[in-house]
Structure 1
Amino acid sequence: MSVLEEKGGLDSNVPVVKKRTPSLSDIWVKNAKSLNHVLFTMQLPTLSPEDPKSQTLIPKFSNVDRTLLLSDDLLLKILSRLPVSQRNPNSLVCKRWLNLQGRLVRSLKVLDWDFLESGRLFLRFPNLTHVDLVNGCLFSPRNSGILVSHRMGSMHVSSRFSSNWRICEENLLPVDMVDRGLRTLAGGYPNLRKLVVIGASELGLMGVADECLTLQDLELHKCNDNVLRGIAACENLQILKLVGSVEGLYSSIVSDIGLTILAQGCKRLVKLELSGCEGSFDGIKAIGQCCQMLEDLTLSEHRMDDGWLAALSYCENLKTLRFLSCKKIDASPGPDKYLGSCPALGRLHLQKCQLRDKKSIRALFRVCGVVKEIIVQNCWGLDNGMFSAASICRRVKFLSLEGCSLLTTEGLEAVILSWQDLRSLRVVSCKNIKDGEITPALSLFISALKELKWRPDTKSLLASCLTGTDMGKRGGKFFKRA
């Protein structure tokens, strides 16, 4: 009698089925999860290296990614503390590090428009707050060997130029495509803080204003009056740069109409830059009256009508006034009694401007009569007569002159000796200011300053630095006459 018949009393006619002993492969299939855990544990480093038994029980694997033990949040904190210069190398370690490194990026320049429209931008960089779309809005012809570079960006152009020489206009994306990209961007980044774009319309910017309520910094290239209607809804905007026209690249008009719309819509502006913009007294006056928080105003290559300078007196809280690459200041500023002044102005900065009209320069210094810092850098036409108009600014504490080749020692002395509050002086690359022409009065005045940087002649400085090095003489033996 079999074992089954003794225990269960089974019928002898029923065939007996014997169970097969499970194989090792069956155990692996049923316990795959547990097996993976065992294998992973075998790959972990030894927890107690000093224990000789543990060294023999758990083998070591040198190619194990030990960062798998760290959570994403912890690894993000570690990666965020590394230098910015290591971001690109770190992103090449593995796919996980690539994704984590993308989450740390906050500012980005988009070079490919399809990268934005396809949605790959949001997957790769989900936490962006600063986006520059200018280079992405420009398409370059293929197989072009001509590269045009500008501070705005670089682009390849074809050899056939248009008759108006507006290169950028021929390489811009259509307006509807730019607007569609802006709507996509605003939907993906509702916490956007800064945006730089070119060729957008009113509708595209209104979409950004509706979605991105925290937008604070905006830079618009190829801007016009109609486009400014779209940014009037950006109530929290604090920094704004408007670029109307750039010679040789594109042309657009920003007039008093656009400046008035801007002033009524963006009343929280703190910093404003107008580049290549037209306008007059009315536009600047509207900005001064409505944007009462404005502290920093920059005019670059402006095309303002005559008489606009008097409107600066309406900017009561203006602290910094800059002129960059301006061919003129104000050709006809009007009588002095209508000019007024900026009561809170602290800094006047002139860079790469043409200062050839004495009447205009005199009006500028009168408006800036309470200024405490004057910086003149690489401006043309500033001679003794032009600089003498600055003597009206009695509260100057810091003066910086760089690249003023027409100004002499006599002209400098005539002005700064009348500034009793002057504490810092910087004179660099002004070749007509000579050390040998310094009078005892000027020498005594300079010696009482708290800070002085005196390098008027760079050639003499270079010669003194090369003394004893035989530089400039070594080529003589190669070019001797036979």
Structure 2
Amino acid sequence: MSVLEEKRSPDSNIPVKKRAPSWSDIWVKKNTKSLKHVVFAMQLPTLSPNDPKSQTPLPKFSKIDRTLLLSDDLLLKILAKHPVSQRNPNSLVCKRWLNLQGRLVRSLKVLDWEFLESGRLFLRFPNLTHVDLVNGCLFSPRNSGILVSHLMGSMHVGSRFSPYWRLCQENLLPVDMVDRGLRVLAGGCPNLRKLVVIGASEMGLLSVAEECPTLQDLELHKCDDNVLRGIAACENLQILKLVGSVEGLYSSLVSDIGLTILAQGCKRLVKLELSGCEGSFDGIKAIGQCCQMLEELTLSDHRMDDGWLAALSYCENLKTFRFLSCKKIDASPGPDEYLGSCRTLGRLHLQKCQLRNKRSVRALFRVCAVAKEIVIRDCWGLDNGMFIAASICRRVKFLSLEGCSLLTTEGLEAVILSWQGLDSLRVVSCKNIKDGEISPALSTLFSTLKELKWRPDSKSLLASSLTGTGMGKRGGKFFKRT
């Protein structure tokens, strides 16, 4: 076909050849209105401030939201690039942006329980995967000026206190109301991955287990043995924190019965934290035998019976063992031949614990003899006689001591000189460890370390004297970048 067409002039019979219309001509004809908007916007800046025409009001189409030309998916991608601190201002632009910002929210702390039960939570935030209900489960008396704060949350309390000082227990929502909220949450958040709740029952957790198969992380406050029956239905649970009792806030009981139910139901656990829980050898043994994927175990303010420490040897894949705020380790661990050892353990952490029983500390280091990392922070009672028990851990490569005020330079030296593989040492706020008591053998060890942080007290001069010497930087000259 020819790209030219023949047309005769009205004044002449001479044929005139005209070019066929291009695709751009066709687009301009169909989009004349949009093009006028663009042309008008391009001409606006040419008007000077003194021009009287510039004082005329703009046409209505100049107030059109240009973001309406963008699809929701495209605008969501743009908003997702903004920092988290910008989300609240963005949500104030218009209703559309408010809804889009709600779709970007994945984690939320619920403060108003009615907001959950009414279903408005899911209309406002339809893609939630992490929900914390603890603050929403607490109701505060009106006109109360007394605020109680805890790691769990904050709440207002009345002027009349309980004789047992269980403040949180008196300000909890009824169990049936908490369960009803969990059923609503389970129906509105089928992709829920993490849940934090307090005061729930077995039935409430069962509804979450049935409707939220992707639940992997669960934190339960005020938990007891009966509630653990509902947890056992969460087959894909990998991270679990159980809080039985908190002194001054609430009281609940988790015993060997609950730990056994938990072990038989949640066999895919990787991380487990037991806070304020009771139990004994049987409960820990059941967890070790059934939860064979368990890699991290944390005990916080535990109330375990004597002899439980020997059950740790059943945790065959345990890599990290933590003690937090424990008043004791194991008052009667039993004979050494029954203790066993965690063969895969790599890290042993103790923080804010009371290490006053030499026998229990010795048993702990014996069970964790293959640990490669030992961290002791703000623990009371750790003196030279206690710390010498750590000599059995001959594979240690990293040692961190902080707030160990009873330990001396002599006690530290007696242990770390026996560790042939020590690479990193950190000593902070240990006032009885002095620079002037460092022996030549200890100085030689310092020079071979890859990493050294030495601040036993505010008067220590060793750290400043090491600057520029290369001490504590073994291998640095071989790995410098060129």
Decide: shared fold, TM above 0.5.
yes
Match for residue 384 of structure 1? 384
Task: Report the Cα distance in structure 2 between the residues aligned to 1:258 and 1:44, rounded to whole angstroms.
Answer: 70
Match for residue 193 of structure 1? 193
Match for residue 230 of structure 1? 230
Task: Report the Cα distance in structure 1 between the residues aligned to 2:33 and 2:190, rounded to whole angstroms.
Answer: 44
Residues 46, 453 of structure 1: alpha-carbon distance in 2 compared, 3 angstrom cutoff: farther
Cα shift at 1:186: 0.1
Return structure 1 stretches of 4+ with deviation > 4 angstroms: 37-52, 59-64
Task: Report the Cα distance in structure 2 between the residues aligned to 1:458 and 1:377, rounded to whole angstroms.
Answer: 17
Corresponding pairs, count: 424
- Normalising by the residue count of structure 2, what TM-score does the alignment of the two structures yield? 0.85
Q: Where do residues 427-466 of structure 1 align in structure 2 (5 Å cutoff)?
A: 427-458=427-458
Task: Report the Cα distance in structure 2 between the residues aligned to 1:369 and 1:380, rounded to whole angstroms.
Answer: 22
Contact 1:140 1:171 in 2 (8 A): yes
Q: Where do residues 277-356 of structure 1 align in structure 2 (5 Å cutoff)?
A: 277-356=277-356
1:135 alignment partner AA: N
Deviations 1:161-180 (A, max 9, x none): 11111000110000000000
Match for residue 253 of structure 1? 253
Match for residue 409 of structure 2? 409
Residues 356, 94 of structure 1: alpha-carbon distance in 2 compared, 3 angstrom cutoff: same
1:146 alignment partner AA: I
Match for residue 360 of structure 2? 360
Contact 2:435 2:460 in 1 (8 A): no
Contact 1:43 1:64 in 2 (8 A): no
Match for residue 423 of structure 1? 423
Task: Report the Cα distance in structure 2 between the residues aligned to 1:422 and 1:344, rounded to whole angstroms.
Answer: 19
Task: Report the Cα distance in structure 2 between the residues aligned to 1:296 and 1:370, rounded to whole angstroms.
Answer: 15
Task: Report the Cα distance in structure 1 between the residues aligned to 2:315 and 2:75, rounded to whole angstroms.
Answer: 49
Residues 49, 74 of structure 1: alpha-carbon distance in 2 compared, 3 angstrom cutoff: farther
Cα shift at 1:197: 0.2
Contact 2:321 2:349 in 1 (8 A): yes
Cα shift at 1:65: 2.5
Contact 2:425 2:451 in 1 (8 A): yes
Cα shift at 1:279: 0.0
Task: Report the Cα distance in structure 1 between the residues aligned to 2:133 and 2:37, rounded to whole angstroms.
Answer: 47
Match for residue 216 of structure 1? 216
Deviations 1:111-170 (A, max 9, x none): 000000011100110000000000000000011000000000000000101111100011
Secondary structure of the 1:297 match is strand
Match for residue 148 of structure 1? 148
Secondary structure of the 1:180 match is helix
Match for residue 174 of structure 1? 174
Residue 104 of structure 2 is aligned to residue 72 of structure 1: no
Secondary structure of the 2:406 match is coil
1:397 alignment partner AA: K
Task: Report the Cα distance in structure 2 between the residues aligned to 1:418 and 1:230, rounded to whole angstroms.
Answer: 49
Contact 2:134 2:198 in 1 (8 A): yes
1:142 alignment partner AA: R
Contact 1:301 1:324 in 2 (8 A): yes
Task: Report the Cα distance in structure 2 between the residues aligned to 1:166 and 1:184, rounded to whole angstroms.
Answer: 29
Q: Where do residues 37-52 of structure 1 align in structure 2 (5 Å cutoff)?
A: none
Residues 45, 328 of structure 1: alpha-carbon distance in 2 compared, 3 angstrom cutoff: farther
Task: Report the Cα distance in structure 1 between the residues aligned to 2:293 and 2:77, rounded to whole angstroms.
Answer: 37
Residues 178, 43 of structure 1: alpha-carbon distance in 2 compared, 3 angstrom cutoff: farther
Secondary structure of the 1:229 match is helix
Deviations 1:252-279 (A, max 9, x none): 0000000000000000000000000000
Deviations 1:220-269 (A, max 9, x none): 00000000000111000000000000000000000000000000000000
Residues 41, 250 of structure 1: alpha-carbon distance in 2 compared, 3 angstrom cutoff: farther
Match for residue 275 of structure 2? 275
Match for residue 369 of structure 1? 369
Task: Report the Cα distance in structure 2 between the residues aligned to 1:50 and 1:155, rounded to whole angstroms.
Answer: 56
Residues 188, 41 of structure 1: alpha-carbon distance in 2 compared, 3 angstrom cutoff: farther
Contact 1:263 1:290 in 2 (8 A): yes
Secondary structure of the 2:135 match is coil
Match for residue 98 of structure 1? 98
Task: Report the Cα distance in structure 1 between the residues aligned to 2:172 and 2:258, rounded to whole angstroms.
Answer: 23
Deviations 1:292-350 (A, max 9, x none): 00000000000000000000000000000000000000000000000000010000000
Identity of aligned residues (%): 85
Task: Report the Cα distance in structure 2 between the residues aligned to 1:280 and 1:207, rounded to whole angstroms.
Answer: 30
Give ranges in structure 1 of 5+ residues lacking alignment: 1-36, 465-482
Secondary structure of the 2:134 match is coil
Match for residue 116 of structure 1? 116
Task: Report the Cα distance in structure 2 between the residues aligned to 1:347 and 1:358, rounded to whole angstroms.
Answer: 21
Give ranges in structure 2 of 5+ residues lacking alignment: 1-30, 47-53, 465-482
Task: Report the Cα distance in structure 2 between the residues aligned to 1:50 and 1:146, rounded to whole angstroms.
Answer: 60
Cα shift at 1:198: 0.2
Cα shift at 1:62: 6.6
Secondary structure of the 2:96 match is helix
Contact 2:353 2:379 in 1 (8 A): yes
Contact 2:275 2:301 in 1 (8 A): yes
Deviations 1:406-447 (A, max 9, x none): 111111000000000000000111111111110011000111
Cα shift at 1:96: 1.1
2:399 alignment partner AA: L
Task: Report the Cα distance in structure 1 between the residues aligned to 2:33 and 2:145, rounded to whole angstroms.
Answer: 57
Secondary structure of the 2:262 match is helix
Cα shift at 1:48: 6.4
The structure whose Rg is larger is 1
- Normalising by the residue count of structure 1, what TM-score does the alignment of the two structures yield? 0.85
